[in-house]
Amino acid sequence: MTVGTVPEVTRISVIGTGYLGATHAVCMSELGFSVVGVDVDQAKADSLAGGTVPFFEPGLEELLRKNLDSGRLSFTTSFAEAADADVHFLCVGTPQRPDSQAADLRYLDAAVDGLLAAGPKAGSLVVGKSTVPAGTAAALAGRLAAQAPMVRLGWNPEFLREGFAVEDTLRPDRLVLGVPAGAGGHRAEETLRAVYATAITAGTPVVVTDFATAELVKAAANAFLATKISFINAMAEICEVTGGDVQTLSTALGYDARIGRRFLGSGVGFGGGCLPKDIRAFRARAEELGAGRAVGFLAEVDAINLRRRTRVAELATELLGGDVAGRRVAVLGAAFKPNSDDIRDSPALDVAELLREAGAVVTVTDPAAIPNARRRHPELRYADNAASAAADADIVLHLTEWADFREIDPAALRAHVRTPVVIDGRNTLDIARWRAAGWTYHALGRPNV
């Protein structure tokens, strides 16, 4: 980098090319930077280098091929090829540890080991994007000070929504820049502002803060969203015993500007690779710091969410006469959300497994996630479309709100089933249309619809 008030950034490395890293690498090259993506998985690096995204994300593969063709983007397993970058983004996963609810930082540590061994150039900036427990950045800054004193650190948490990751990277709703105090922090801030100049010029708000706050922003955001979802699902439980309608309740609450309608959609709950593990890691870190009581409510947020899955299985069992053994169940959905093939902590697959374990013959369909689901759950049956999944079904469960499923012709689907009974686990189907087609409709939190 050149010395001056605005650091020059021309080359970027992205370490870790999973969902976050691949998206970030492609989008940084789309912004005009020379980008190298680094991953220890040769097959993943080869797939991306060949123009194929190894997961489903709308619009990403087209941008990948465009930027590979431009020559600005490459992928490798060699850290040495990234050593000359001006900025190094750490985008590795931080999953839940197998022995506790805490975050597993092994991949982050390994990424830093690889970068340091390659010898990053003096004056470069290492930027954490991975979701980490508070205190991780400070520890990493100390490590860099000891092992690579001419390399600085910044923290820039990601806020990607699966299915909208390209939009969220190129046109983020906010940028959080965690930097240390002093001249080094000012330099790190200016470098990050140079990286994100396009978004900043377009009006994206920028929050500059310390490392701990930057780490906590992501944890707090996910904790709040999870809490909001579990709150409305707790209200659904109350509606079921009082005769209320949770959808009408959500609508009424949403008109209050202090509350808002977003994330007040009741149903089978949240899943994926972020919210569940992040709220657990947040609680675990708070416990380590002696502040566990402050976020103790997240245990109930988690419990409410998991109860929704059990409740769908229980409702299906009730509707099938109290015993699902040998009954045929069609599950519409495998991904944890639409426009994704991510099956991590998928409510749909959890429900499918609960019913299969109880003896049901379960067939799952999904527009994008069947290959991943089949690898994780080979014991389930799969179909390419809703009609095939519903063949001779005794009940149909709508558990991932893909547009493909919302737009199904219920009259046409009825011709394939044995019994026209549907549980709308996402409260997004057109009740009148399904009932007009002869279906018996049920949904969580809506006993009187």
Token readout for 99 is 């022995």
Spell 326-354 as b/e; 16+ CB within 10 A means b.
Answer: ebbbbbbbbbbbbbbbbbbbbbbbbbbbb
- Dist. CA 337–CA 400, nearest whole Å: 6
Phi, psi of 175 (to 5 degrees): -120, 125
Among residues 27, 91, 239, 274, the one annotated as catalytic is: 274
Q: Which of 115, 89, 81 is nearest to 31 (CA)?
A: 89
Asked if residue 396 lies in contact with residue 332, where contact means CB atoms within 8 angstroms, the answer is yes
Asked if residue 29 lies in contact with residue 72, where contact means CB atoms within 8 angstroms, the answer is yes
Q: Would you give the distance in Å from CA 88 to the centre of its chain?
A: 22
Give the number of C-alpha atoms closer than 13 A to the C-alpha of residue 247, restricted to the C-beta side.
Answer: 16
Bridge partners, residue 396, by sequence: 330, 422
Other beta carbons less than 10 A from residue 310's beta carbon: 12
For the question of residue 27 being annotated catalytic, the response is no
Angstrom CA distances, 319 to 74, 162, 233, 327, 342, stand at 54, 33, 21, 11, 30
Other beta carbons less than 10 A from residue 252's beta carbon: 11
Bridge partners, residue 12, by sequence: 35, 87
Phi, psi of 66 (to 5 degrees): -60, -45
Listed in sequence order, the residues at least 6 apart from 199 whose beta carbon sits closer than 8 Å to its beta carbon are: 170, 171, 172, 175
Bridge partners, residue 38, by sequence: 15, 76
Give the active site residues: 274
